[in-house]
Amino acid sequence: MAAQDGQIAGLSQNQATLPAGAIQAGTYTVTASGGADVGAFQATIPVGADIQFQTSVSELEVWGDCAPFTINWTGGDPDAWVTLSFVEGSDVFSGGFQFVNFAYRTPASKGTMTIRYPIPTRDGGNCNGAPKYRLHLVVEVEPDPSEVTTFSAPGLTLGGRAKWKYVHNFWPLVNLP
């Protein structure tokens, strides 16, 4: 488990990334003995269900000939959101940057997401001959912000928040002029 501690907007954050499958949908109790700044606390955290893809996302060609593409899934927590992002960047040796080209969000309960070609084309939508790139496609499933669990603990003046997230990574072929 890789634990990370840091500051976000001047506030302390503790975060850990667990191995795939380490946590499943259910309710968990987190107990901490406390320390110099924060006292002992216990929090009950509900974790929603992940989605199961019905579309073969790893073999997907996105926007081939500028056509919309659709991703279908089953499952997921009814109060969760599915966010699909195309992330582009360079490796560490080139300065190591990342940015999101396009991002889309829909309720997990919808079970489908259709995305139209995001860039207007001069010839009415014909993308024949446009270069194809392998882009990093990230699909995240996480609770609606209004459903994030909060808890209190001695020493936490603003309280704490516990949030879950499932992250799926793919590298489909993307048609971009």
- pTM for the full model? 0.77
Q: Which of 175, 172, 77, 57 is nearest to 126 (CA)?
A: 175
Residue 97 scores a pLDDT above 70? no
Taking only the tens place, the pLDDT of each residue in 161-172 is: 888 899 998 888
Q: How far apart are CA 111 and CA 172, in angstroms?
A: 20
Which DSSP string do the residues of 101-152 spell out, in sequence order? EEEEEEEGGG-EEEE--SS--TTSS--TT--EEE-EEEEEEEE-GGG-EEE-
- Structural domain count, the chain: 1
Boundaries of domain holding 164: 2-175
Q: What is the pLDDT of residues 143-154, one digit of tens each?
A: 999 988 898 989
Reported as a pLDDT band with limits 50, 70 and 90, residue 177 is low
